[in-house]
Amino acid sequence: MTAASDASRREFLGALGVGVAAAGSLATEATAQGAAPLKIVDFHNHYMGPSWTLTNLAKAPPAARPAVEALNRNLQSQEALLSSVETAGIAARVINTPTAFIEDADGKIPPGAIERINDQMAELAGKHPGKLYGLATVNAFSGDTGARELTRAVNELKLRGVFVESAKRDLVLGAKESRPTLAAAATLGVPVFVHPLTDPALHKRFSSTGRMGVRLARGTINNAALISMLEGGTFDEIPKLQVVMTTLAMGGILLAGGFGDGSGIRSDAPALTRRHVYVDTMGIHPAVVRCAVDLLGADHVLMGTDWPIMVEKSVPERLQKAFAHCGLTAAEQQMIASGNTLKLLGVA
């Protein structure tokens, strides 16, 4: 990096910092003047009932074990989940159960685990209507089996969407094995939350660069799922499919948008992405929120934090600062805070 480019980078970061600080003042002033507080529904949250034996601690390096132990306590505690809604200053959480927390060394889960997970999720969400919304867990790469379980989870258990992994072994979402589950979601009118996962090969390559490298590896898989669905014709075959990507997939969303000049992966990639893809706000960074809105539209961005992996405090204040920095209208702010999520879930 040259001295000139380094100076330019410092100027950009300084300007961004000033903008965020000014946005904070604007948000505080708006609140003081009696602006209606945002109703916030967090789309990106995980929960695994206390009856399960977690396997993630065995995979953790010694230095990370205290953090994983703390994570597991929250992950398996209904009390922590429910109290976190109040602590974060939000109205509700949308919860899902990743099977990665109970996989053995070969990536296998106990027989009947998925059905049991969905039964437990429906029971928990049913006890706390309006505060917890449950997503089904499905192996998207199990063909018609996944589609049948998703149909049961939505029609019988009244779960409001489905959580799937971006990949499984050599398969990436969008592969023919995943099409029945994706088609079922579209027919049922529920969103598909496409979540990152740890790919052994990428993890080995990137983990030497530290925690950021681990996130990059997981984000790469999330991006690969998006590109696979775009390039592989999934959205052409399933025109009513609605998928939610995490912030870690912003690279793929940028590629699909052609970096702003329309020359995407395929000529209609920007339009396809705007029609089918939503993204969460994990990290609540003003620049990321602005980028997501510019690429997808305010009606395709969802508030999400990744609780309890990330425990965000003062969510309303941080979200207001980001919105003020982005120059969003009151209607756009409420869309992102909860409106888009509730609409996707069929609540509003």
- pLDDT above 60 (res 140): yes
pLDDT digits 0-9 by tens, 67-116: 999 999 999 999 999 999 999 999 999 999 999 999 998 889 999 999 99
Question: Above pLDDT 70, what percent of the chain?
Answer: 89
Give 69-75 contacts, CB < 8 A, sequence gap 24+: 71/308, 71/309, 74/307, 74/308, 74/311, 75/46, 75/47, 75/48, 75/101, 75/308
- pLDDT above 80 (res 203): no
Q: Where are the beta strands (DSSP E) in the chain?
A: 41-46, 92-96, 132-134, 136-137, 162-165, 167-168, 171-172, 192-195, 243-245, 277-280, 301-302
pLDDT value for 285:
94
pTM for the whole thing? Answer: 0.87
pLDDT-derived band of residue 233, with 50, 70 and 90 as boundaries?
A: very high
pLDDT value for 284:
95
- pLDDT above 70 (res 34): no
Residue 21, SS3? helix
Distance between start and end Cα atoms, the chain? 50
pLDDT value for 116:
98
pLDDT value for 44:
98
Please give the angle made by the CA atoms of 98, 102 and 105, to the nearest 5 degrees: 120
pLDDT digits 0-9 by tens, 169-196: 899 999 999 999 999 999 999 999 999 9
pLDDT digits 0-9 by tens, 243-290: 999 999 999 999 998 776 666 778 899 999 999 999 999 999 999 999
- Which stretch of 1-15, 164-178, 199-213, 292-306 has the lowest confidence by average pLDDT? 1-15
pLDDT value for 216:
79
* Average confidence (pLDDT) over 202-215: 80
Distance between CA atoms of residues 94 and 121, nearest Å? 11
* Token pair 């740890």 in the structure block, residue: 198
- pLDDT above 60 (res 345): yes
Please give the angle made by the CA atoms of 249, 276 and 115, to the nearest 5 degrees: 80
Side-chain-side CA neighbours of residue 270 (13 Å):
14
pLDDT-derived band of residue 144, with 50, 70 and 90 as boundaries?
A: very high
pLDDT-derived band of residue 117, with 50, 70 and 90 as boundaries?
A: very high
Distance between CA atoms of residues 118 and 149, nearest Å? 9
- pLDDT above 80 (res 6): no
* Average confidence (pLDDT) over 227-253: 96
CA 200: distance to chain centroid? Answer: 21
Residue of 22 and 233 predicted with greater confidence: 233
- pLDDT above 70 (res 25): no
Residue of 243 and 36 predicted with greater confidence: 243
